[in-house]
Chain A
């Protein structure tokens, strides 16, 4: 069975500092990885997916199959980045269900 681990429940950084939110996964097949973000009082929304290799709001994430990781990074954090971040995995096959990590609450301090 697949599993997603986000080891940090809470992460605080100062504005302008680099930020990295960790995500590790276990899955024997070829996964598709996502980062979802939930800002205060808003719904969960897709931030980025690994197959598109985009940079959204300055965030990037690289799939490292050797380390089974998909860490989310941003070189200079902004206060508006404060939110709950969820890493999610989708397996191959017909179901396309998402398996979520437990989330990391990021706080960017002024």
Chain B
């Protein structure tokens, strides 16, 4: 089991471009969580998804950010019209069920020029 796979590991975008971050959960895990970590801070919850459903997006910024977890394929965190403040490490975690521990990926480091 390769664990939670995130790609790319590093992503550089210019202001105004779109960023797409992908997360493949561990085999057998149907719950996916996205977190954002700004420098010198802890991870902050963004969104929780199950297959084809957004369960809780209370941590997502109201504009430009969206997430999906389709029936087939990885979960995608999409940031439109990126700005400098979007520069951060974005972590994905997965779990097999609601009350099970979350397993984290290596993260995607997003840099905005």
Contact = CB atoms under 8 A, between A and B. Distances in A.
Interface stretch (A11-19, A59-67, A69-77, A97-105): A97-105
A108 interface: no
A96 interface: yes
Contacts of B91: 44
A97 B4 CA distance: 17
B103 interface: yes
Contacts of A102: 40-42
Contacts of B48: 95-97
A34 B42 CA distance: 14
Contacts, number: 56
B105 interface: yes
Given A4-B42, A86-B42, A46 B101 contact: yes
B56 A46 contact: no
B61 interface: no
B43 interface: yes
Given A95-B56, A96-B99, A101 B45 contact: no
B98 A94 contact: yes
B98 A98 contact: no
Given A43-B107, A45-B104, A101 B42 contact: yes
12 contacts: A9-B40, A43-B104, A43-B105, A43-B107, A44-B91, A46-B102, A86-B43, A94-B56, A96-B99, A97-B48, A100-B35, A103-B42
